[in-house]
């Protein structure tokens, strides 16, 4: 799994951080997403997929091709 | 097909008797008339959207603006001002583009997931205290009045640096400003004037003597980087946070507990597995059939939604709650499934304008639920679920009372 985040779209809702804090964080100065781990290990995939599905700004893109 | 072809013009909000059940019209509208003509309390007409995809598209589409004070925009209520969404104050915060993003990011940093997590102990302490007071007063008790209503005001006052002694005044102003029909225009105007005066004084105090709260920080930082927020912007921000963050969360606490206790198997499932609290809160947000008015938007140019071309000047009402029951997106949409995942509900909107305080609301709801499960595991409704009653006249929907025993 490879993750791309779109900082310009991000609205700082923080859902991704609540769901997968090992993978996502938010910048202290404006709340915009920080991608900690672009290729997270397998046990985090479910949480990352959920984060992408519920992101209100659709700012998380996943490519899952192997 | 033109909006509402062959359909009688519905009155909106759609009247509904049962407090926790959606109006029957939602399913019919989604299937047969997803872009429907409706008549608002003012008598003006608007266009109601009920399908998930349409609501989601419009909420994230910048052509659909918040400029509800445009000359040809539908007035929501018959108050002279047309209600909260079209006050001058609502226009101070930039609607779109760079101005909006600047404001959003200045304020939004205060509502990050980490900051909200840091507030958990304070919120839990407030919830414990309020529950202690409720227990002392005896049962049955109105959980909404004892816990749901005060907690979010306490939290917002805390964020804004407003002293505890003024919390009750804040609660009254918030209630009045959000009402479409319960208060007269004079009361609404007076409450707004009082609130604006209070906040203006408060901003001036914070300028003179900054402390650790959000307003002080906004003043400091916006001064430092040149892109400062004006006094009017600061005032509007304080007002927006109160109006957006109080009544909504207060009512949601009452409705969430009401829904969980209406079928006590839900409460028992949570007692058996506390790890479900997070997804249970999301499901309560999705399942809320009584969220209030929905989100109005004003269309500045012609646009197509759900196969229908809407002319420029159309006022659109997005029913996020109807969208959240859309079977094409949510399996078993009319079942409350506390473990539902993923749950991409639209309770907080979508896109660049989605609720700024959603992490705050989620955290408050999770904390309240955790504390209630721990302190009052035997909690139950003291009235039949069918006897729960909706509040009237608010932009935000809720239950009048949530009488409980334990």
- List of chain A residues whose C-beta atoms are within 8 Å of the C-beta of residue B341: 50
Q: Long-range contacts: B204-210, Cβ < 8 Å, 24+?
A: B206/B161
- A50: which chain B residues are within 8 Å (Cβ-Cβ)? 341-342
- For residue B158, what are its two tokens? 């805390």
Q: List the single residue in A17, A50, A56 with the smallest CB-CB distance to B354.
A: A56
* B204 Cβ contact list (under 8 Å, min separation 6): none
Closest residue to A13, CB basis, from B110, B114, B359? B359
The distance of Cα B57 from the centroid of its chain, to the nearest Å, equals: 19
Least confident window among B240-244, B245-249, B253-257, B273-277: B240-244
pLDDT given at position B103: 76
**pTM (whole model) above 0.80:** yes
Sequence-separated (6 or more) residues with CB below 8 Å from residue A46? none
Q: Is B105 helix (H, G, I), strand (E, B) or coil?
A: helix
The helix/strand/coil state of B318 is strand
Interface touch B109/A49, C-beta < 8 Å: no
Mean pLDDT of A46-64: 95
ipTM over cut 0.85: yes
Averaged pLDDT for residues B8-35: 91
For residue B4, name the pLDDT band (cuts at 50, 70, 90).
very low
CB B243 within 8 A of CB B390: no
Question: Cis ω on the peptide bond leading into residue B342 (within 30° of 0)?
Answer: yes
pLDDT exceeding 70 applies to what percent of chain A?
Answer: 98
- DSSP-derived letter for residue B145 is I
With pLDDT > 90 as the criterion, what percentage of chain B qualifies?
55
Place of tokens 């033109």: B2
Which residue did the predictor score with more confidence, B374 or B14? Answer: B374
The residue extents of the domains of chain A are: 2-63
Across all residues in chain B, what is the average pLDDT?
88
| B152 vs B250: CA distance, rounded Å | 6
User: Chain B contacts of A27, Cβ < 8 Å?
Assistant: 109
Is B3 within the bounds of a domain? no
Tally Cβ neighbours within 10 Å of residue B94: 15
Q: What is the CA radius of gyration of chain B?
A: 21
Give me the domain span that covers residue B326. Answer: 10-405
Report whether pLDDT(B80) > 50: no
What is the rounded distance in angstroms from the CA atom of residue B226 to the CA atom of residue B383?
A: 56
* Gyration radius (Cα) of chain A, Å: 11
With 0-12 / 13-18 / 19 or more C-beta atoms within 10 angstroms meaning exposed / middle / buried, residue B313 is middle
For residue A47, how many other CB atoms are within 10 A of its CB? Answer: 20
Q: Is the Cβ pair A14, B341 closer than 8 Å? A: no
List of chain A residues whose C-beta atoms are within 8 Å of the C-beta of residue B60: 57-58
CA distance B349 to chain A (A): 7
CATH number for B201? 1.10.630.10
Q: Could you give the 3-state DSSP secondary structure of residue B329?
A: coil
Say how far apart CA B202 and CA A4 lie, in whole Å: 43
pLDDT at B340 over 70: yes
- Average pLDDT for B234-259: 86
Chosen CATH of A2-63 out of 3.30.2320.20, 3.40.50.800, 3.40.50.300, 3.30.70.20: 3.30.70.20
Residue B87 banded pLDDT, cuts 50, 70, 90: low
B5 inside domain: no
- Residue-wise over B263-286: b if at least 16 C-beta within 10 A, else e? eeebbeebeeeeebbbbbbbbbbb
**Closest residue to B344, CB basis, from A18, A54, A57:** A54
Structure tokens at B279: 């997804």
CB contact under 8 A, A57 and B352: yes
* Mean pLDDT confidence for B100-104: 78
> How close does chain B come to A60, measured CA to CA in Å?
13
- Helix B264-272 to helix B247-262 angle (10° resolution) is 100
Query: Mean pLDDT: which of A11-25, B109-123, B226-240 is highest?
Result: A11-25
Cβ of residue B73 closer than 8 Å to a chain A Cβ: no
Is B4 part of any domain?
A: no
Q: Per-residue pLDDT for B186 more than 70?
A: yes
Residue A54's pLDDT band (cuts 50, 70, 90): very high
């Amino acid at each position: 799994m490879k993750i791309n985040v779109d900082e310009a779209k991000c609205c700082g809702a923080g859902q991704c951080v609540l769901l997968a804090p090992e993978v996502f964080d938010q910048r202290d100065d404006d709340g915009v997403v920080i991608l900690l781990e672009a290729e997270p290990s397998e046990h985090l995939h479910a949480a990352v997929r959920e984060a992408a599905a519920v992101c209100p700004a659709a700012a998380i893109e996943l490519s899952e091709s192997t | 097909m033109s909006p509402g072809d062959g359909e009688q013009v519905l009155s909106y909000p759609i009247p509904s008797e049962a407090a926790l059940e959606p109006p029957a019209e939602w399913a019919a509208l989604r299937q047969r008339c997803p872009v429907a003509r409706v008549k608002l309390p003012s008598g003006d007409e608007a266009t109601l959207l009920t399908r998930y995809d349409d609501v989601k598209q419009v909420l994230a589409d910048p052509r659909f603006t918040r400029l509800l004070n445009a000359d040809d925009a539908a007035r929501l209520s018959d108050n002279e001002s047309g209600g909260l969404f079209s006050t001058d104050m609502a226009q101070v915060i930039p609607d779109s583009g760079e101005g909006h993003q600047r404001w959003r990011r200045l304020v939004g940093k205060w509502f990050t997931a980490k900051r909200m997590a840091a507030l958990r102990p304070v919120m839990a302490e407030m919830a414990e205290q309020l529950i202690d007071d409720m227990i002392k007063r005896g049962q049955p008790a109105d959980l909404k009045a004892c816990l749901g209503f005060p907690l979010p005001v306490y939290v917002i006052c805390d964020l804004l640096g407003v002293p505890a002694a003024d919390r009750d005044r804040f609660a009254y102003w918030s209630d009045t400003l959000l009402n479409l029909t319960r208060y007269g225009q004079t009361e609404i105007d007076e409450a707004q004037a009082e609130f604006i005066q209070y906040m203006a004084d408060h901003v001036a105090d914070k300028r003179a003597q900054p402390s650790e709260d959000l307003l002080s920080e906004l003043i400091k930082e916006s001064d430092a980087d040149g892109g400062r927020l004006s006094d009017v912007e600061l005032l509007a921000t304080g007002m927006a946070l109160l109006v957006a963050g109080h009544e909504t969360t207060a009512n949601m606490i009452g409705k969430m507990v009401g829904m969980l206790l209406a079928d006590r198997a839900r409460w028992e499932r949570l007692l058996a597995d506390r790890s479900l609290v997070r997804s249970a809160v999301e499901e309560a947000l999705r399942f809320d059939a009584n969220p209030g008015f929905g989100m109005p938007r004003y269309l500045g140019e012609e646009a197509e939604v759900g196969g229908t071309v809407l002319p420029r000047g159309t006022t659109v009402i997005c029913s996020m709650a109807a969208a959240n029951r859309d079977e094409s997106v949510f399996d078993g949409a009319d079942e409350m499934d506390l473990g539902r995942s993923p749950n991409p509900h639209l309770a907080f909107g979508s896109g660049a304008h989605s609720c700024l305080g959603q992490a705050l609301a989620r955290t408050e709801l999770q904390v309240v639920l955790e504390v209630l499960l721990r302190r009052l595991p035997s909690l139950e409704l003291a009235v039949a679920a069918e006897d729960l009653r909706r509040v009237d006249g608010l932009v935000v929907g809720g239950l009048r009372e949530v009488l409980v025993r334990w």
